[in-house]
Structure 1
Amino acid sequence: MPSEKENTPPHRISINGNDAVGHESPNKSPRSSSGWDGKLRLEKKAELANPEALSDPEYSDDEQVLPGEVIDADEDLLDDYPSDTEEIDCVHARVSSIPLLKLDRFKAVTRLCLRQNTITEIEGLSYLASTLQDLDLYDNLIAHIRGLEDLTGLTSLDLSFNKIKHIKKVNHLPNLTDLYFVQNKISTIENLDGLSKLRNLELAANRIREIQNLETLVGLEELWLGKNKITEMKGLDSLQNLKILSIQSNRIRKISGLDALPNLEELYISHNALSSLAGLEKVQGLRVLDISNNQIASVEGLEHLEELEELWASYNQISDFAEVERELKDKTKLTTVYFEGNPLQLKNPTLYRNKVRLMLPQVMQIDATFVRVS
């Protein structure tokens, strides 16, 4: 018979501003509305606690670190919670120093979320080393990765929206499955060797110019590189298990480097400088293709994508209805197409939807509107 403790939900601490309540985190979509960030992180009304980290190009220099509002020593945010608490959320709670939280009294914490605070140093976490699996330090003032030496049980680490310039001191964390560095100042992908269990790597909105040093990440399934300065798709050959590749808002002129990715299911390559769809020949399992906001005039090159379910092709130069029909009419799994902003829509917007509906009867959604079933 299970014990009373086994039947009791795990203790959770959630502090948001001055509130302290227990809660269940809602499920989130794996893709943000803008596409380049794989993890939907902020509610629409939420604001960054440290917006200056984004607006000031020199903010990531050490001398530019702004002092946070220090919590008085006698203000114990976690005083009312039991020692067997498993989840601690201190979001936007004016925390500037992790040691002031006195985490040594908690013996069972598996998840620690300290989002939207003014933390500058990762420290005082060794007390949680035997239990901690998920560490979330999103939107703080962290410039250097350190203080993780003992946290070898971590499976998820989020250092997004900080001031980090270099990826360092994470490759001793062999159990990591999810690693987030969105919106930092990183220019080089490096020091990830040894993370063979990594499934999801997010490096969107940095200063990366080249895809490199991913050879040891043989288990990677999702790679998010949107909003960088990448000019060429390469360095992907070892990622045999990759299912999702996002390389939106870069400087890509042609699709390449996908021949060695037999399991790729989703490709997001909008907001680049593509003029054709050549290079998709070997990714026959592709289900979602986002090529919006490029200079593509022809949809030739899609005929072999029999698994295609969603095609996002808005704001290109596609004008030939007959070609679209020829390439897509036999794709029985295709349910969603986006062609708004193309000549075939702009030239006659009143007839456009009907023409698409008639030539692609299997489609259930055209642009943002669902097709009515008669």
Structure 2
Amino acid sequence: MKDSKGWDGKLRVERHAVLANPEALEDPDEYSDEDAPPVEQIEADEDLLEDFEDDVDDIDLVHCRISSLPALHLERFTKLEKLCLRQNEITRITLPESLAPTLTDLDLYDNMIAHIRGLDHLTNLTSLDLSFNNIKHIKNISTLVKLTDLYFVQNRIQKIEGLEGLKVLRNLELGANRIRDIENLDDLTALEELWLGKNKITEIKNVTPLTNLKILSLPSNRLTSISGISALTNLEELYLSHNAIANISGLDSNPNLRVLDLSSNQISRLENLSHLTNLEELWASNNQLESFDEVDKELRDKEKLTTVYFEGNLLQTKAPALYRNKVRLALPQVQQIDATYVRVS
């Protein structure tokens, strides 16, 4: 019998939850369950791949609520080259050894992976995407010496490590992590693209060995100056928006720059750009620039310059009605001012 409030007359004993690992609350970022027993994985109710032929070379299972890789019975696919398992619930990488001879592209973007394990045998991988997971440490990938593209966007990584031996790596994505220092990249001499946006980096350093680098991306960090890139003579694109940079400098040895993004910094003078004769795009919105004479002096002779962004500077806010015409007069070669294309009369 229960009354109108649901009380059934039985004794209520006050219970308190007890944490088995209270240290996790004290320092949740450092606490790791790496040595804990594996989480039980429930077998799939149906074979998601029952309609696939054994000789298929590309499998794409996006957002299928997959948690158990063994349940997919991937061992029967003897010619599989590309496996995409984005947006699932995978916590452990358990792939059969039979995939090793053919698998070159593995995409595990947006899952629940905390530790990199189970990849050692996949030595023919050229592309590995572990973005949007819960990874804290880069490890156990040193056998993947054929990797050309490696993605770790939006994880919990604090240190660049574990990349030794990846001598043909071309593209490394480490954006949106917790990295404070650029380090341990000496082996990556073939690297052409390094993406480190949205971290906690205060200084550009330890990139001297990366002489083949064409793209360096460091927006939304804690940089106060442009430095440390004199060895990057092949650099073509440099992204430094949303930092605390006060001066344009340090670009004397980068004559091949085509794209320079300095938006949302604290720059008050347009300077030290005259030698960048290959410049095609200059993004300098939301700074403190106010001199059209500097625009004329630094950019007029840039024949390849097609795009400039100056909105949010005093150049634009002091006289918004005249701003575009002034830029056009100073830079007649430009085809786009901010987000708007220039009309050809």
Tell me the TM-score normalised to structure 1 length. Answer: 0.82
2:308, 2:299 → 1: CA distance?
Answer: 10
* Over 3 Å off, 4+ runs: 57-65, 67-74
The residue that corresponds to 2:126 in the other structure is 155
1:188, 1:339 → 2: CA distance?
Answer: 35
- Is contact 1:68-1:96 (8 Å) kept? no
Task: State how many pairs are aligned.
Answer: 317
2:40, 2:66 → 1: CA distance?
Answer: 7
Kindly indicate whether residue 265 of structure 2 is the aligned counterpart of residue 285 of structure 1.
no
Matched residue SS, 2:98:
helix
The residue that corresponds to 2:80 in the other structure is 109
2:58, 2:292 → 1: CA distance?
Answer: 54
Matched residue SS, 1:352:
helix
Matches within 5 A, 1:302-317: 302-317=273-288
- Is contact 2:308-2:334 (8 Å) kept? yes
Matches within 5 A, 1:314-333: 314-333=285-304
Kindly indicate whether residue 162 of structure 2 is the aligned counterpart of residue 191 of structure 1.
yes
The residue that corresponds to 2:178 in the other structure is 207
The residue that corresponds to 2:318 in the other structure is 347
Kindly indicate whether residue 208 of structure 2 is the aligned counterpart of residue 237 of structure 1.
yes
Matched residue SS, 1:276:
coil
The residue that corresponds to 1:146 in the other structure is 117
Kindly indicate whether residue 36 of structure 2 is the aligned counterpart of residue 90 of structure 1.
no
Gaps of 5+ in 2: 1-26
2:133, 2:165 → 1: CA distance?
Answer: 24
Gaps of 5+ in 1: 1-56
**1:359 aligned to 317, 330, 334, which one?**
330
1:68, 1:300 → 2: CA distance?
Answer: 57
**2:135 aligned to 151, 164, 171, which one?**
164
1:193, 1:140 → 2: CA distance?
Answer: 25
- Is contact 1:145-1:167 (8 Å) kept? yes
1:247, 1:279 → 2: CA distance?
Answer: 15
Kindly indicate whether residue 93 of structure 2 is the aligned counterpart of residue 122 of structure 1.
yes
Tell me how far 1:126 sits from its aligned partner. 1.9
Kindly indicate whether residue 39 of structure 2 is the aligned counterpart of residue 78 of structure 1.
no
Q: Percent identity?
A: 64
Tell me how far 1:358 sits from its aligned partner. 1.0
Kindly indicate whether residue 223 of structure 2 is the aligned counterpart of residue 252 of structure 1.
yes
- Is contact 2:43-2:68 (8 Å) kept? no
1:62, 1:82 → 2: CA distance?
Answer: 40
Tell me how far 1:58 sits from its aligned partner. 4.4
Tell me how far 1:73 sits from its aligned partner. 4.0
1:72, 1:237 → 2: CA distance?
Answer: 49
1:69, 1:329 → 2: CA distance?
Answer: 65
Tell me the TM-score normalised to structure 2 length. Answer: 0.89
1:314, 1:97 → 2: CA distance?
Answer: 47
Instruction: Say what the alpha-carbon RMSD is for the aligned residues.
Output: 1.9
Looking at CA atoms only, which structure, 1 or 2, has the larger radius of gyration? Answer: 2
Tell me how far 1:123 sits from its aligned partner. 0.5
Q: Which amino acid aligns with 1:268?
A: Y
